[in-house]
């Protein structure tokens, strides 16, 4: 590995099974392309069947031997998450679950169960889906964070954003929740004597579909910033390292190695003290069980 991990460092994955959530576009799509190119079977877990099928066709056009399948998964609806989990448990076991799907700074929106969309999808949906299928995963569970977690604080007093809504603050909180969940999940898996490990990652600043909700002037400026940011393909490197890297350990957090962790090859990333606070992590775990009705049993 040349001073950091890239797609070129992904080893052969023949015979291994992956689920990648949100795999129809952006980083999830790029991760899926690399995995199938290395021989893996990848399940695209996506909300929109038409977009998932179009993504599978694009991949198959490039890699005719691609081994792909589709799983309907809407992380904004816990009832549908339960249905998706049942389908996973009825299928062959998985080597790796890649929790990649998420939303970023949308207009105020609520999930089916009435929670603010970013916390509901990025954390609660991910928590519920992982909590239901973790026993079916043999190797790794990847949780996608963000450098935005560094400004995040956990505020459970208004999860439906009824008093106020600041989209960036809500995004920061959801990304802090992702890392707290990853750390606590790995601790509980280890305590339970499981070989499965939880690993965190972030893509830096990648120009993907997530930027579609940026304010109009910033959205128009993103092409000018392209030389300084990650492409979706390069932003996928930390996820690929978390999912397949040989020297990765449970609880690791990976991201770009460039200035400010914005772009570059993948390697160790810096998480805030809050993101590794065991008290905060235990409280989030407890609250997440209450809010989703899903107890991972760990």
5 close to 265: Cβ distance less than 8 angstroms: yes
Active site residue 115: no
Q: Are 98 and 239 in contact (CB under 8 A)?
A: yes
Bridge partners of 5?
A: 266
Token pair in block for residue 274: 């809050």
Contacts of 105 (CB under 8 A, 6+ apart): 118, 167, 168, 170, 171, 213, 214
Catalytic residue among 115, 156, 165, 171: 171
Do 182 and 238 touch, CB atoms closer than 8 A?
Answer: no
**Residue 254, both tokens:** 């990976």
- Contact (CB, 8 A) for 201 and 142: yes
Residues 6+ apart with CB under 8 A from 94: 17, 18, 19, 88, 133, 136, 137, 138
Burial letters 118-153, b for 16+ CB under 10 A, else e: bbbbbbbbbbbbbbbbbebbebbbbbbbbbbbbebe
Cα–Cα distance, 58 to 28 (Å, whole number): 14
Give the C-alpha distances (Å, rounded to integers) separating 284 from 188, 232, 277. Answer: 14, 30, 11
Q: Which residues are catalytic, by number?
A: 171
């Amino acid at each position: 590995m040349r001073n950091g991990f890239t797609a070129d460092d992904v080893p052969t994955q023949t015979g291994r099974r992956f689920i990648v959530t949100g795999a129809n576009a952006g980083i999830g799509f790029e991760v899926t392309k690399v995995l199938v190119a290395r021989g893996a079977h990848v399940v695209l877990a996506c909300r929109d069947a038409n977009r998932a099928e179009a993504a599978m066709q694009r991949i198959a056009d490039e890699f005719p031997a691609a081994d792909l399948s589709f799983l309907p998964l809407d992380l904004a609806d816990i009832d549908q998450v339960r249905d998706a989990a049942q389908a996973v448990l009825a299928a062959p076991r998985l080597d790796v679950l890649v929790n990649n799907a998420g939303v970023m700074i949308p207009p105020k929106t609520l999930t089916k169960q009435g929670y603010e969309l970013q916390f509901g999808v990025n954390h609660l949906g991910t928590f519920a889906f992982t909590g239901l299928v973790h026993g079916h995963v043999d190797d790794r569970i990847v949780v996608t964070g963000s450098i935005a977690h560094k400004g995040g604080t956990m505020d459970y007093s208004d999860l439906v954003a009824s008093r106020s809504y600041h989209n960036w603050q809500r995004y920061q909180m959801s990304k802090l929740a992702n890392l707290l969940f990853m750390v606590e999940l790995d601790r509980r898996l280890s305590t339970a004597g499981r070989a499965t490990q939880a690993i965190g990652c972030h893509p830096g600043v990648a120009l993907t579909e997530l930027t579609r909700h940026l304010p109009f002037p910033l959205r128009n400026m993103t092409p000018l910033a392209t030389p300084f940011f990650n492409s979706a393909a390069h932003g996928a490197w930390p996820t690929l390292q978390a999912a397949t890297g040989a020297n990765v350990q449970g609880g690791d957090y990976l991201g770009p190695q460039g200035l400010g962790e914005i772009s570059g090859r993948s390697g160790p990333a810096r998480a805030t003290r809050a993101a590794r606070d065991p008290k905060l992590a235990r409280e989030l775990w407890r609250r997440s069980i209450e809010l989703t009705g899903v107890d991972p049993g760990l």
